[in-house]
Amino acid sequence: MDEAVISSATDQPRPQSDEDAAAAEHLPEVQRLVDAVRACLNALPAIKSKGEPTSKSAATQEEYLKLARQLLYRGNTGEDDLVSVVSNTGRSTTFYKRLAALRYHCLWSVGAMSSALPQAWDTSTRERLMASCSQLLMTMRALVRLQQQGMTQPRSKRRSKRQALRGLPSTWREDICARGMHGKYADALLISALTGARPSELATGIDVWVEFDDLLRKHILCLHVIGVKVKASQGQPNRFVAYAEDDAHPLVAALARRLRMEPGKKLHVQIASAANFTTEVRRLGHALWRDHAHTITATCFRHQWSADLKASGDGDAASRGLGHRSSKTRRNYGTAHQASSGRVLRPVRVEAELPVKTQQSWPRLEAKAPRLE
């Protein structure tokens, strides 16, 4: 933040007039406001994180501001109340996301107030900014306390979403697709099952087509996924999955029939809302298995796809297809023993734009028994 922006609120020349003479009477109030904004500016180093933010996308910033507004609304009675609201979670990811949201809110608010200072000669603007400064200083004090004390609630045991596969029939993917075949998400359900794509990737759009593979000497069904969780050292920008057109698996056969209905055997599958798609999968799952212990979500398709690929013995193919850059990330997804008995998907090609970094394993040193002399 440029200190000159703050100083300009009191230093900028103003034309001499009766109105300016009246405004001069408010100089002490303006100066107090400038001092309050400067106090917020000086408090910023105490709340900044040690490293640079992992994401600077507009979507992330908007999400942080929305979350911060919710926290401030719930903890609006004071510093202690805000600390209590933020600390009230047993999940470390939730706790630190709340800290990141409040931190970004403070940085954004200081910039917004500094930009508004030149208009502080107006009484209503000055009063509004002074109230904002007071709340911001309270938020910063609470944030410093939260950073110092860390999590205070017992950590909740993490429940892997792949547990949702337990107890489902081997045909659960086909059953969900059949249940939703007449709805607007029919194509999206089928593509999600065949690629393990994230709902947000379906929102970006997935291209599907038929082509002849010279190496296999047969036609293949091709699916191109554009990755969404992509950063400098994370995620795959593009990945490609293909199945033999004559594959007898019911899901592959359903896609083959679907493509034969399209001109040029090409299809672009795209949904309007990732959240609404997940809600529909949850609704379909509940309608089919009301007594199932876990909620069926769109992520279950990713876990099942991972399980099928791991069952084939090619773990790196699972990493490529899931859109991972590191092989160790696939540990969090469906395991080989969760593969659908007799219903395993067997893609003939799974490719990604970037190579997968394999986890280096070190040779295990065997302890030697002491030699008796």
Decide which of 221 and 58 is more confident: 221
Confidence of residue 24 (pLDDT cuts 50, 70, 90): low
* Residue-wise DSSP of 301-368: HHHHHHHHHHHTT-HHHHHHHHT-SBGGGGGGS--GGGSPTT-----SEEEESSPPBPPP-PPPPPPP
Q: Which of 262, 229, 259 is nearest to 243 (CA)?
A: 259
Domain boundaries, the chain: 3-149, 163-352
Q: Which residues contact 64 (CB under 8 A, 6 or more apart)?
A: 100, 101, 104, 105
Place of tokens 């050292």: 233
32: number of Cβ within 10 Å: 13
pLDDT value for 7 = 52
Q: Is the pLDDT of residue 125 over 90?
A: no
Calculate the average pLDDT of the chain. Answer: 84
Q: Which residues contact 162 (CB under 8 A, 6 or more apart)?
A: 303, 307, 332, 333, 334, 335, 338
Q: Is the pLDDT of residue 12 over 60?
A: no
Confidence of residue 43 (pLDDT cuts 50, 70, 90): confident
Q: What's the whole-number mean pLDDT along residues 93-119?
A: 87
Asked if residue 120 lies in contact with residue 24, where contact means CB atoms within 8 angstroms, the answer is no
Confidence of residue 368 (pLDDT cuts 50, 70, 90): very low
Rama region for 313: left / alpha / beta (φ>0; ψ in -120 to 50; rest): left
pLDDT value for 372 = 38
Q: Which residues contact 165 (CB under 8 A, 6 or more apart)?
A: 172, 300, 303, 304, 307, 334, 338
| Tokens coding 274 | 């990732």
Q: Which residues contact 1 (CB under 8 A, 6 or more apart)?
A: 41, 44, 110, 111, 114
Q: Is the pLDDT of residue 218 over 50?
A: yes
Give the chain's radius of gyration (CA, Å): 28
Q: What is the pLDDT of residues 51-74, one digit of tens each?
A: 555 556 788 889 999 999 999 999
Q: Which residues contact 77 (CB under 8 A, 6 or more apart)?
A: none
Is the entire prediction scored with pTM above 0.75? no
170 burial level (CB within 10 Å; 0-12, 13-18, 19+): middle
Angle at the Cα of 331 from the Cα atoms of 325 and 334, rounded to 5 degrees: 110
* DSSP letter assigned to residue 262: S
* DSSP letter assigned to residue 357: B
Backbone angles phi, psi at 162, to 5 degrees: -70, -15
Q: Is the pLDDT of residue 110 over 70?
A: yes
Decide which of 316 and 31 is more confident: 316
Q: Which of 206, 278, 265, 267 is nearest to 239 (CA)?
A: 206
Q: What's the whole-number mean pLDDT along residues 289-309?
A: 92
End-to-end CA distance of the chain: 74
What type of residue is 60? T
Confidence of residue 20 (pLDDT cuts 50, 70, 90): low
Q: Is the pLDDT of residue 204 over 80?
A: yes
pLDDT value for 331 = 79
| Tokens coding 256 | 């083959």
pLDDT value for 111 = 84
